[in-house]
């Protein structure tokens, strides 16, 4: 199937198939993993501020529970469909497995545009979603978390609604919550921090001095902004950032903290003093050492991958690189840190939050960051070693590690006969 017609669901199915073939896994492993175990679609009626009732489509996918309960984000976004949610839940399975978390993959979405909704409408939508899926989730079943256009406040409303349904507090049903109702220190920065840990390890392997390096970011939301901040702390110079509505490019460098302040005030990075705008392809093809896609799926394609000049591509977003683009980058000798590793910091600290909720004992931010670093570095080492052993890309190696762990659990539980 061509790149133009292949959707993200078919992409992840192909990644699973290739991994199973390389491992020589039983055919049943692929057959079990190629589809979510459960998928729910719901309609959510919401009373809008003008008195009308609008019905929103909602989804929740649970890929597998062989390693533990489903875990994954819940996004509010105007462009979302069932295949995308299924694919993202499948990527979450391997993201959890590759860092050794006792979870299967989950993902959810509501098709809406929160930028055009009032806080009251968003709250009613959030609570309506929980009423629709309340029997489908739980601390030992499926644990959602923030994703695109959702945040700790939305998680708090959802936790409250779920607790009302259960007639008892159940903080462990969601992660990414506010600190005062069971959230974890370090959760807000975790995905960006984890990404930078992987960049640091990759740079060491290829002999790149981060103190004399340049970084380009695509996406400057929670993940991208913190990744930029931590890269700056590592000594790298951020030269360009792009969001959906424009870019800020300065070859002499951008001050991340000032850029964050500018974006908070103006709602965009475009127009940042001393910078110029760039198209998306121009950004992707800038001369730099590290390229961090931190936005949405399918951003690096066969159209722009050939012009990528970075030495390291760290996928802080889910599925930002198409299979054809991945082959192009690999043939160019670019070290691609796959999303299931590079963006695993968020789910790792979500796991920490869940553990803290279950034991009612909370850790310091330093403890959280130290545990995160240890898990991400160990995972990078495993994948890098697998890559060298099998002479495959880091992405293929990550799937080999993850699928092997899932398959071993299937075998132990007697799923494979």
Is the pLDDT score of 118 beyond 70?
Answer: yes
Structure-token pair, residue 301: 């394609």
Tell me: the pLDDT tens digits for 54-77? Answer: 999 999 999 999 999 999 999 999
Q: Which class is domain 36-173? A: alpha beta
> Which of 345, 352, 346, 344 lies closest to 182, judged by CA?
352
Domain ranges in the chain are 36-173, 190-337
DSSP classification of residue 138: B
Considering the chain, what is the average pLDDT of its residues? 94
Q: What is the mean pLDDT of residues 290-306?
A: 90
Q: How far is CA 271 from CA 245, 278, 293, in A?
A: 11, 11, 21
Q: What's the average model confidence in pLDDT over 286-290?
A: 96
pLDDT of 222: 87
pLDDT band of 4, cuts 50, 70, 90 = low
Distance between CA 129 and CA 49 in Å, rounded? 18
Fold matches, 36-173 and 190-337: yes
Residue 217 predicted with pLDDT over 50:
yes
CATH architecture assignment, domain 190-337: 3-Layer(aba) Sandwich (3.40)
Check residue 3 and give its pLDDT. 54
pLDDT at 107 over 60: yes
Separation between Cα atoms, residue 109 and residue 42, nearest integer Å: 10
Instruction: Return the pLDDT at 394.
Output: 93
Q: What's the pLDDT tens digit per position in 142-178?
A: 999 998 899 999 999 999 999 999 999 999 999 999 9
Rounded CA-CA distance 141/173 in Å is: 9
Distances (CA, A) of 9 to 21, 32, 110, 180, 293: 19, 15, 18, 37, 20
Percent of the chain whose predicted confidence (pLDDT) is above 90: 87
- Please name the helix (run of DSSP H) or strand (run of DSSP E) that holds residue 127, with its range, or none: helix 119-133
Least confident residue range of 20-24, 35-39, 371-375: 20-24
Structure tokens at 75: 């996004």
Q: For the residues 13-32, what does the mean pLDDT come to? A: 93
Q: Which pair of structure tokens corresponds to residue 383?
A: 């994948």
pLDDT at 6 over 80: no
Q: How confident is the model at residue 1 (pLDDT cuts 50, 70, 90)?
A: very low
For the annotated catalytic residues, the residue numbers are 107
Question: Of 163 and 245, which is predicted with more confidence?
Answer: 163
Tokens of 162: 């779920």
- What is the maximum alpha-carbon separation in the chain? 64
- pLDDT value at position 298? 80
369-378 long-range contacts (CB < 8 A, ≥24 apart) are 369/186, 369/193, 372/186, 372/190, 372/193, 372/194, 372/197, 372/345, 372/348, 373/197, 375/99, 375/100, 375/348, 376/99, 376/194, 376/197, 376/198, 376/341, 376/344, 376/345, 376/348, 377/197, 377/201, 378/100
Given pLDDT bands bounded at 50, 70 and 90, which one contains residue 323? confident
CA 178 to chain centre: 20
Taking 80 as the threshold, does the pLDDT of residue 122 lie above it? Answer: yes
């Amino acid at each position: 199937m061509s790149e133009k017609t292949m959707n993200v669901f078919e992409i992840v199915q192909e990644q699973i198939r290739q991994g199973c073939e390389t491992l020589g896994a039983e055919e049943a492993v692929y057959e079990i993993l190629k589809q979510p175990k459960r998928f729910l679609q719901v309609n959510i009626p919401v009373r809008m501020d003008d008195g009308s009732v609008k019905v929103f489509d909602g989804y929740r996918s649970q890929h597998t529970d062989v390693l533990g309960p489903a875990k994954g984000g819940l996004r509010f976004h105007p462009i979302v469909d069932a295949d995308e949610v299924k694919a993202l839940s499948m990527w979450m399975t391997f993201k959890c497995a590759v860092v050794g978390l006792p979870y299967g993959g989950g993902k959810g979405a509501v098709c809406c545009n929160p930028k055009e909704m009032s806080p009251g409408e968003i709250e009613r939508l959030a609570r309506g979603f929980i009423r629709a899926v309340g029997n489908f989730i739980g601390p030992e079943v499926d644990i959602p978390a923030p994703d695109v256009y959702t945040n700790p406040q939305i998680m708090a409303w959802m936790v409250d609604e779920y607790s009302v349904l259960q007639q008892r507090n159940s903080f462990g049903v969601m992660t990414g919550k506010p600190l005062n109702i069971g959230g974890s220190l370090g959760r807000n920065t975790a995905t960006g921090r984890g990404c930078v840990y992987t960049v640091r390890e990759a740079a060491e392997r290829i002999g790149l001095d981060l103190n004399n390096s340049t970084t380009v970011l695509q996406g400057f939301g929670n993940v991208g902004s913190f990744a930029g901040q931590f890269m700056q702390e590592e000594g790298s110079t951020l030269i360009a950032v792009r969001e959906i509505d424009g870019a800020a490019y300065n070859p002499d460098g951008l001050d991340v903290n000032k850029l964050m302040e500018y974006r908070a005030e103006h709602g965009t990075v475009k127009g940042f003093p001393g910078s110029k705008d760039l198209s998306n392809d121009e950004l992707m093809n800038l001369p730099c050492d590290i390229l961090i896609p931190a936005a949405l799926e399918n951003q690096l394609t066969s159209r722009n991958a050939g012009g990528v000049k970075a030495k390291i591509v760290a996928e802080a977003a889910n599925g930002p690189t198409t299979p054809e683009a991945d082959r192009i980058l690999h043939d160019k000798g670019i070290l691609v840190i796959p999303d299931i590793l590079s963006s695993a910091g968020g789910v790792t600290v979500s796991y920490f939050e869940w553990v803290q909720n279950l034991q009612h004992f909370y850790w310091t931010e330093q403890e959280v960051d130290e545990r995160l670093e240890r898990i991400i570095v160990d995972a990078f080492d495993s994948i890098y070693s697998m890559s060298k052993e099998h002479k495959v890309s880091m992405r293929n190696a990550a799937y080999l590690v993850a699928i092997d762990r899932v398959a071993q659990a299937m075998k132990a539980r007697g799923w494979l006969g």
